[in-house]
Every structure is written in structure tokens, then in C-alpha cells.
């Protein structure tokens, strides 16, 4: 079974600064997808960014980018120019490519990000 580990329960960043959230995962598969989801105080989960394991290029979405290290099974999220609205819980998640059409995700335990003035 796959596991996802987020070793930073809480992180803090000053507004306009850059922060990196860590995620490692364990799998024996070679084809899979990785995700970062954001859960703001409203508690409704939102997809931030997605990475396909077969792609070497790191995914980027505006101020959000990832550092995908397949051999090390590491998938960190970098948030640049942090904004107050970035304050949330961030979950790393894994999806096997073998699950067919079902998007069954395995989630990490989350990192709470605080953004200070």
C-alpha cells in the first residue's frame, strides 16, 4: 500500500516571502500522480497543483510550484510571494495510475501554514 508523509505539522511564512512544504511518499509503482490540495478555514478542499510521475518537468501554477524528485520519492510545494489568503492546511496526495477511472487518493496528514504580516 502507498503511504504519504508530511513531516511538518505547522509552518509559518511572512507575507511576500517564499515557503516550501515537504512531502515524501512510498510506492512500488512507476506510474502515478501527485497532488497538493489546500483546505482553507472554510474546510472546502481545493486542488492547488498536480504532477504526473512520467513527466520530468516540475509543475507550476502561478505562485505555486513543485520540486518532484522521483528517485527520492519527494514532492515539495513552493509558494512564492506568500499572501494572507494562502493560510490554510495543505495536503499532499497520491493516486496510482492503476485505479482506472476512479480517483482514489491517499492523503498525508497535512501541514498548517500560517502567513504573518
Partner 1 sequence: DGGITQSPKYLFRKEGQNVTLSCEQNLNHDAMYWYRQDPGQGLRLIYYSQIVNDFQKGDIAEGYSVSREKKESFPLTVTSAQKNPTAFYLCASSIPQFHGKLFFGSGTQLSVL
Q: How far is the CB of 73 from partner 1 (least distance, A)?
A: 17
Quick one: cell of 31?
506510474
Nearer to partner 1, 21 or 82 (CB): 21
Q: Which is nearer to partner 1, 68 or 91 (CB)?
A: 91
* DSSP-assigned beta bridge partners for residue 68: 75
Contact in structure between 27 and 94 (CB atoms under 8 Å) = yes
Q: Where are the alpha helices (DSSP H) in 11-108?
A: none
Name 115's bridge partners: 13
Per the CB < 8 A criterion, the answer to whether 10 and 98 are in contact is no
Nearer to partner 1, 28 or 117 (CB): 28
Residues in contact with partner 1 by CB under 8 A are 4, 9, 33, 35, 37, 42-47, 50, 52, 91, 93, 95, 97, 100-110
Amino acid at each position: 500500500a502507498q503511504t504519504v508523509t508530511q513531516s511538518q505539522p505547522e509552518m509559518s511564512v511572512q507575507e511576500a516571502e517564499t515557503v516550501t512544504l515537504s512531502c515524501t511518499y512510498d510506492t512500488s509503482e512507476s506510474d502515478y500522480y501527485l497532488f497538493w490540495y489546500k483546505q482553507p478555514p472554510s474546510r472546502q478542499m481545493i486542488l492547488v497543483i498536480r504532477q504526473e510521475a512520467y513527466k520530468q518537468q516540475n509543475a507550476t501554477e502561478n505562485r505555486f510550484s513543485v520540486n518532484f524528485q522521483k528517485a527520492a520519492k519527494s514532492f515539495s510545494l513552493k509558494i512564492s510571494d506568500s499572501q494572507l489568503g494562502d493560510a490554510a492546511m495543505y495536503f499532499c496526495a497520491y493516486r496510482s495510475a492503476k485505479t482506472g477511472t476512479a480517483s482514489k487518493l491517499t492523503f498525508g496528514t497535512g501541514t498548517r501554514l500560517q502567513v504573518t504580516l
